Structure formats: structure tokens, C-alpha cells
Chains A and B, each alone.
Chain A
Amino acid sequence: MAAIIDLHEVAERELEARTRYPWRVKACASTACQSAGADAVVRSIEATVAAEHLELDVQVVPTGCMGLCSRGPLVRVLQRDVDTETMYADLTPEVGEQIVTSHIKAKKPIDTHVIDEKMPFFAGQEKVVLANGGVIDPNRIEGYVAHGGYLALQKALTSMRPEEVLDEVVASGIRGRGGAGYPTGSKWSLLAGAPGDVKYVVANGDEGDPGAYMDRTIMEDDPHRLLEGLALAAYATGATGAYIYVRAEYPRAIQRLDRAIRVARRSRLLGRRILDTDFDLNIELRIGAGAFVCGEETALISSIEGKRGQPNLRPPYPTEAGLWGQPTMVQNVETLANISSIINRGGEWFSSIGTPKSTGTKVFALAGDLTNTGLIEVPMGTTLRHIVEVMGGGVPDGHEFKAAQTGGPSGGCIPASHLDTPVDYESLRRLGSIMGSGGLVVMDDRTSMPELARYFMEFSMDESCGKCAPCRTGTVQLHGLLDRIATGTGSEGDVRELEHLCQVVRDTSLCGLGQAAPNPILSTLHFFRDEYTDAVSGKEPADA
């Protein structure tokens, strides 16, 4: 059996090793920066370091996401003796070379590429789950441990009973980050109270909303945080097995999680007798096969079992009979990533962030017509206006803000008149949208709302599993109606029928996909009805 890891010793050694280098260059190696050419930048920095014989002075570390993805590739340069950090954006291999020759050697920062980390995009954030993004090397467990990793698990296993862990989670008030906002503590209590010797916890990493990449970032950049959260969930609920279900479109997340699981087992942080206690847990990785509907918990369970990934009827709920017929709890990745902080700092601390009914922080993927796009983590209850106008820097190129879309194909649009809405579960639902997993797409005045609704309906139509009739056939008909309206060939009757069919699909579909698929239409009809009526005004019905 492998030796037990001494967390404090590993952390100390890791931090000490860093001080040997006067310079630490942290280069974002997350997917967004990679697609902007981060690899070439890192290679250029490393080559220049070697050419200048600075290997003993400069440590180049690949890290996770720093957030401001629209300005990638991003790099942070730490000068240890004066303890200052400089952030660089929009890098090219040439500028990477200059970072070494000008900034490090000549102490002359390249001002044209420096960005101020006090700018509103960063200043408005409160990082809990993304705390290690842009700080640690995701592939090394030592980095996670150096920043307090696995201390929560150690604390729970050695000094807390499972009920006490569960009590902290209940006290934190955290709610599911996957979209519906079910109280996490209640779900854990259901699983803990379910009879049976075999129980499972499952991390849902099947993030599928277009434009959303919160969970991907957590899994890629801080995989051990997810493992620790999952282990804590299993300990608190009495679960005997754990799975992480990741969509196949996230190969880097799969690779990093796979490595993290192996390393954690070797360090006795997973497997048998974890940290030399009586607690055993194995975590297995399961890969999706390209179906959005597998983010629905019963479909996800079927998929893990090797069956066709389509939703099953509830009741029975997964906490009664889930994976392999045993009590099972499915939790969103971001929810689980919050758990270690809750155990370390207490449920009360967590509930002091955000609003009374929506506690903690939420990660959003800002996208669309904004000056700054990327990942942000803000306290719940931050207003949309603050996110869009201050942090996102507003709509560029002299255009006007028109609407913000939250919740992807299951969500709705929020118009300018409601920009002062605080972002929390209830406020968004009252506006006909949902929190969703955290996608936030901003659209300027050039966007046509019927076209937007058609886009999302095409998505839902393609992703419908086909099990229930209203979703399978209703989404096709809704798409057809929207297509006619958006292309100017629709009639007023089409708009009436659109509204009726939305209600049919919403109220009669089997699972959340179908039930929520009409939301983009219903919310744009509510706030931007003119665009629909203008598109069809004076038109005779096609079949009249």
C-alpha cells in the first residue's frame, strides 16, 4: 500500500521550492488561451529563457484559466523580491520573447500588453471555486496541496462525523449550480437517509449549454478540487462509490481528471483507507457520447450503466433508486467544487456571501457582444448591470445593449429594462429565465429575437432524445414556425400557434429538456413581442 501523504510537508516543500526562483511566469494553458495560440507563446518564453541562460532564475508554469479569455493568451509574471505581479494579454511568440529579454532581464515591462488586474473585470470578482485558476499547475497535485488542497477532506475524516459534514453543507445554504437550484443540503440528506449498503454519488460534468464552460474550466484547471468535493460528498452521505461523468467533447478535462485520480490514489487520498482512516472510496471516470440530454440526471445514470442515454420517469427519484438501482445523488461539478471551501471555512462563512436565498458565488461564462468576455465568479445577487456594463465593459462598437440570455437553450432573455435584476435563482425565474449552469450571452441591438429563438429551438430539436412525443415532434414544429416567422413568411396565426405549442411542449414533456425548450421563445415573446408581430403583420396564412 502506498505511503500516506503528509499534506503539510508537501505544501511546505512546494512553497519552498518556488522561492528558489526569483521569477515565476504563469502561463494560462486553458482551452481558450490554447486556441488563441498559448502553446507557441510558452514555447517562445521557454526557448528565450534557455537562450539567455536564465533557467535557474525563471520558473515557467502552465496554469489554469485566468478569466479574461477574450484577451488571451494570458501570462502573469511574478517578481519575487519585490512581490509584484504583472499580467500580460494578447500575447504573441514575439512578445513572449520580449517578456524575458525586456521585462525579466532589463526590468522594463512591455506596457502595450500589460493589463491592470485592478480593472473592473477582476475587481468585481470573489473567487471560491476558481481560486486556483491561473495560480497552480493543474497537472501537479503538489500545487493544489500547497494552496490548502485536501485539508478539508483530512479535517472531515479525522475530526468530523458524516452528519457534521452534512450539517455544514445544510448551513451553507448552497443550491445546485446545474440550473434548477435544488438545495444541495436537502439532496445530501435524502441520500444519507436512503436505506441500503450501496450508494453512489455522481459528478455531472456533461456541461452542454452553447457558450458555457464553467465546469470544463474547473475539471481542467483544478481537478483535485472536484475529487475532494466528491469524496466529502461520499463521506457525508455514506456513499460507497463515485463516478465523474464527463462529456467526450472535453478531452483535456478527461485526461487531467484521469491523471488526478491516479495520483490521488497513489497518495492515499482515494482508494482504500483514505488518509489512514476507515473511509474507502474509488472514483471512476465515465465519458459521454455526445448527447446534451445526458446532463439530465436520469439520462446520465442510464448512460453510465451503458444504456441508451435517455431520461427515465421519476418517481422513483435517483436518491431512491438510481445507478444500478441503488440510491444515487447526481451533483453538478461547480456545486461539488464549493464543498471543500465550505468544510474549511464553515457553512456560516459561505452563507454570508451572496443573498439570503442564493448563497455563495456563481461562475458565469460571459460571451457575446461585450468588450470583455471570459469567466467570472461573482457573489450571488450581483446585478446584471454590474456584470454587463462594469465587468464586461459594456457593448462595444457604439451599439446598444439589447438583451442578456441566461440558461442557454433552457433559459430566457432579459431586456435592458430589467438590467438591475440581481442574479439569483428566484429573480431570474421571475423574469422567465433561469440561472442555468452559468452561460451569459449578451446581445446588441442588431440581434433579431425570432432568429435567436430559432437558433435555440434548432439546438433543442437536434438534442431531443425522441422518447416523448411532445418534445420529439413539438420541437420540430416549433422550429418550423419560428423559421417561417424569422424569414418573413409567417402569419399571425403562426404566432398564435407558436404560443399554444410552447405551452403543450412545456407542460407535457417528460424531462427538463422538453419542459424548458420553449423558454427562449416564451421569454422573447414576452419582452420583444413587437418583433414577432412586425415580422408577420399583414401576412395571410400560408395555407389560406
Chain B
Amino acid sequence: MSRMTNRSLPGSAPGTAAPGAGAPGPAPSLMAGPRPGTGAEPAKNAPSGGPWGPRTGRGKPGRTSPLARGGWTPWLYLAPALVVIGGLLVYPVYQLGLISFLEYTQAQVSGGEPTTFQGFGNYATLFRDEQFWQVLLATVVFAAACVVSTLAVGCALAVLLTRVRAVPRLALMLAALGAWATPAVTGSTVWLLLFDPDFGPVNRVLGLGDHSWTYDRFSAFALVLLEVVWCSFPFVMVTVYAGIRAVPSEVLEAASLDGASQWRVWRSVLAPMLRPILVVVTIQSVIWDFKVFTQIYVMTNGGGIAGQNLVLNVYAYQKAFASSQYSLGSAIGVVMLLILLAVTLVYLRLLRKQGEEL
């Protein structure tokens, strides 16, 4: 928000702006609508000082018609962003939905057979498939375990970061950033090698002989969980650490003067203050972990022994691309989208309710 300072605007209308933007008078003050984050081309807007008007001017000119007070101007600025979002988000989701209602396999793509409308046929096939329900359950449980572990590890290490000296802090930061920067395929392969029955150092250190970690369903999931936590905790840690740093030190001092324990400080002071950050990292983690693909695909060789380690995303891939049933894969994609939307909405709702009570 600090960027929304008073600047002379009319002369600095960016090249992308529509003609109306140059209108003098109340127009600039009403351009506070679009925020920098929503602009698809902030780089283009930024050099000219940005079209954002002084915040104080918002809504001042009484209730005249939107056109007269330049009500459409924000939308003109938003138009490029909307077009990009429409092209990159709405259109693919629309296609996904459309394909899920068709019979669309390789034969239809390459014109060997005509594309036919199936109604909810693909969904019926999917919901009748016993394996789908098993995979769905496995995905939900696995994602939940990943989210909880990632948040626990990330928050614990964030608190630890605030407690240690500069050198260990730097070391921990570097280690975390290294894990963060490692591509998922590389990370998975390395973890697999660490736990390799024949050559892996883990078995050698633990003296487990040639125990195979990927044979049993739960140990295979646990192994993948370790990798997922390892590569996603840095995001939580860094974000929460930044949040803790922003908490005024007087508050923490006051708490410790009152004799609060570490745990108490976290629970009653830090966590409530960090709520917005925790909400963001939780939702991010839910979405990431629900969509885990690479780790399962690489570490369990495409879904494990007899498909025991399949999660929805890998299952959708197997259906859509390995066996070219694009329409069935799309149906799985739509189901995943709806589940994630529902989970996110419910979660936000819950938080808001809690917030009101607090």
C-alpha cells in the first residue's frame, strides 16, 4: 500500500491505458480500484508511476452514475489482467470441464472416430470405479498427514531460527533453501537412493540389511511423506520466520515478563498474531500436498506395487495420458478442482468464524 502515494497522474498515463484514463478531474482519484498484484503487466505500469490514485479520494464524489464518475475506468485497467486470467485460467478450466463430458480418447483426437457427448458418463464410470474411492481416500489421508507434518516442522524450525545465533541460523537457512531449490525429481531420486535396499546408506546405518522401503504400502507412503515434507517445509519456515520477525518485540517481552512458557508464547501470542500467515501457508500446503505428483510418480514407480501408492493426480495421469483416456482424466481433474475449492472455502469460513469469536 505504501506505493499508493499522491502523484500527479493525468500526464503519466501508461501506454496500455485506455483513452478514458487521461480524463482530468475525478478520474485519477477513482483509479484506486486495481491493486498492483492484480495487474497482469505491472512492469509496464510501474515505470510511469502507476495509475493508482490517492487513496483518500476513493468514493468521495457522491452517488452519480458510474460512467460520469469514471466507474468503468478501473475495468479498463483490469482488462489486460482479466484477458490473461481468462486465457490462462478460465479457458483451460472450461476445456477441462467440456472434455469431461465427452468421449475423448486418442482416437477422437486424431480423428479416427467422431467425438461424442457422454453427459455424466465419464463421472459415472469414475464413481463406479472402486479404485477411485480407494485412491481418493488415500489422497486425502496422505495430504492431511503431509500438511500437518509440513506445518509442524516448518513452524518449529521458524521458532528455532529466532532462538539461535547467526551462524547456525545461516546454516539452517542455507540447508532449507537448498531443499527448496532442489527440483522434485532430483529430490525424489536422491531420497530413493538413500533408502535403496542394496546401496542405500540408511539401511547400512540402521543395520536393516536389504529391507525394501517401497514394498509395504505404509512405509512407501511414509518415505514419500518424508520427501514431501523435506521439500515443502522451507516455504513454511521462511514465511513464518518473516512473520515472527514482524511481531513487535515488546509483545514477546511482555509475555515472558508475565512468565509465559515457550509453548504458551507460541500458542497465545505468536500463533494468533501470525494467523493470516498461517492461513496462507496452510492453504498453500493443502493445495500442494493434495496435488502431489512427482514424488509419488518417481519414488513408487508410478503408483507402487499393484497401485497401492496411487494418489489422485498420478491416477489421473495414468488414465489421461498413459492410457489416453483424456475425458476420464478430465473428469478426475474436475473432481479434484471441486474438492480443493470446497476444502479451501470451508477452511476460510471456519477461520473467519473463529476470528469473530476471538
Q: Do A and B come from one complex?
A: no
